[in-house]
Structure 1
Amino acid sequence: MELNGAPATIDQIKALALTNYGHFTSMLVEENRVRGLSLHMERLARDCQHLFGVELDTDRVRRYVLQALHGSVQPTVARVTVYDPAIDLGTVGSDAEPSVLVTTRPAAQAQPEPWRLQAVSYRRDEPAVKHVGLFGAMMHRRSAQREGFDDVLFLNPDGTISEIATSNIGFVRDGEIVWPRSEFLVGVTMTLLRQALDEPVTTEPLTLSDLPHMDAAFATNAATGIRPVRSVDGTEWPVDHKVFGDLRELYAEIPPEHL
């Protein structure tokens, strides 16, 4: 755990626990390369401007991530969190000098297990921003897991589908990929797949009543890639659909970028 390229202290990171104002991105690093690295940096710069009104030096961020890897070539999930350690609950409106916290963990090696999702009515604050305010999402995930599910699928107040707690969701219908049309956090993996698929992007305002008409469902996330979705509530799909292998192969062919 390094802050601005140096080991972080408790005093420096306590603002994340006590004030919890900031944003982040997580990326899978393999041999110092990242699929969609430019998209991750664009997200950080955009969210920094939105939350702090400050321009972020993304070249500096890339150097910090590379340094935090300490030369490791093992697949690693690197999380970059941008926040200001000097801001507290009473001074959150102050001019900010955001810092860059880089944390790392080993990446999972096996294919991700299929998920069973529970649909819940919930909309994240500022859904287009990947912010650190995860309480609501984690509360619903915990409740779902306590009831035997793996994660939650969020529904807007009008019943339309938006996103999974920390992933995007896509569906397959008659051989075509269908994405929800809603306000949500557009993930890097989702964006890369949309760019790589040799077909028009299809989005629709989907509700739970549309799910029985889908042939398969999947989740996308930078850390795990493409994960089959086995079910949403009582609607189930096969987890061996051909599309999963096709999407994984397509994703693997996307050239990664060097840090």
Structure 2
Amino acid sequence: MQLNGVPPTMDQVKALALTNYGHFTSMLTEDGRVRGLSLHLQRLARDCRLLFDADLDIDQVRNYVRQALVDQAPRTVARVTVYDPGLDLGTIGSDAAPHVLVTTRAASTSDPGPLRLQAAAYRREMAAVKHIGLFGALRCRRTAQREGFDDVLFLNQDGTISEIATSNIGFVRDGSIVWPRSEWLTGITMTLLNQALDEPIHSEPLTLKDLPAMEFVFATNAATGIRPVASVDDHSWPVDHAVLKQLRELYADIPAEQI
């Protein structure tokens, strides 16, 4: 854990627990390279401007990530969190001086298993921003896991599907990929797939009533790549569909950028 390139003090870290205002991105690093690194950095810069009215030095962020990866495993998940430890509940409206916290954890070396999802009515606040206010999402995930599922699928108030707690969800119908049309966080992995796919991007409003028509369902996440979805509530699908292999191969062929 490094804050602006050095170990943080307890006072600096406690702002994450007591104020919990900021944003982040997580990326899978492999031998110092990241697929979609430019997109991750663009996300950080955009969200910093939205949340703090401040610019973020992207080159410095890269330096911080590079430094944090020294002596780490070749495959490591690095999380970059941007927040201001000087802000508190009473001074949240003050001019901000965003800091960059980089934390790392070992990445799995095996393909992630299929997900069993529970649908729940919930919409993240500022859904287009990858902010650190995860209480509602984690509360829904906890409920799903306590009831025997792996994660939660969010539904809007009108019943349309949006996203998984920390992943995007995609569907295959009649051999083509369909993304739910909703306000959600635009994931890096989803964006890279859309750029690499040799077909037009298609999205439409989807509800649970549309699930029986789907041939295959998958989740995308920067840390885990492409993961099959085995079920949503009592709707289930095969997890060895040919599209899974195709998408994973397509994703693996996307060139990674040097940090």
TM bracket (short chain): over 0.9
Paired amino acid for 1:215? E
Structure 1 runs, 4 residues or longer, greater than 6 Å off? none
Aligned to 2:20: 20
- TM (normalized to structure 1)? 0.99
Is the contact between residue 61 and residue 100 of structure 2 (CA under 8 Å) also seen in structure 1?
Answer: yes
Q: Secondary structure at the match of 2:228?
A: strand
SS at match of 1:218: strand
Aligned counterpart, 2:164: 164
CA distance in 2, matches of 1:33, 1:123: 33
Q: Which residue does 2:176 correspond to in 1?
A: 176
Match of 2:242 in 1: 242
Residue identity in the other structure for 1:180: P
Measured after TM superposition, the shift of residue 71 of structure 1 is: 4.2
CA deviation after TM superposition for structure 1 residue 256, in Å? 0.2
Structure-2 residue corresponding to 1:83: 83
Report SS of the residue matched to 2:230.
strand
Q: Is the 8 A contact 1:77 1:104 kept in 2?
A: yes
Q: Cα deviations across residues 66-103 of structure 1 (Å, max 9, x unaligned)?
A: 00011435200000000000000000000000000000
**1:122 aligned onto 2:122:** yes
Gaps of 5+ in 1: none
1:171-205 CA-partner distances (Å, limit 9, x unpaired): 00111000000000010000000000000001010
Distance between the aligned counterparts of 2:132 and 2:7, measured in 1?
21
- What's 1:153 paired with? 153
Please show how residues 20-59 of structure 1 align to structure 2 within 5 Å: 20-59=20-59
> For 1:142 and 1:109, how far apart are their aligned partners in 2?
25
* Residues 135-186 of structure 1: per-residue CA shift (max 9 Å, x gap): 0000000000000000000000010000000000000011100000000001
Deviations 1:199-222 (A, max 9, x none): 000101000000000001000000
Say whether 1:113 aligns with 2:113.
yes
CA contact (8 A) 1:19 1:89 kept: yes
Given the two structures, how large is their TM-score scaled by the length of structure 2? Answer: 0.99
Q: Deviations over 1:27-80 (max 9, x none)?
A: 000011000000000000000000000000010000000000114352000000
Contact residue 82 and residue 99 of structure 1 kept, 8 A: yes
CA distance in 2, matches of 1:93, 1:60: 25
| Partner AA of 1:107 in structure 2 | A
Match of residue 67 from structure 1: 67
State the partner residue of 1:223: 223
Q: Which amino acid aligns with 1:2?
A: Q
Aligned residue type for 1:36: G
What secondary structure is seen at the aligned counterpart in 2 of 1:78? strand
Counterpart CA distance in 2 for 1:227 and 1:64 is 30
For the Cα contact (< 8 Å) 2:32–2:74, is it kept in 1? Answer: no
CA distance in 2, matches of 1:229, 1:215: 11
Q: Distance in 2 between matches of 1:252 and 1:225?
A: 9
The 2-side partners of 1:72 and 1:197 are apart by 33
AA paired with 1:176? S
Gaps spanning 5+ residues in structure 2: where?
none
Equivalences, count? 259
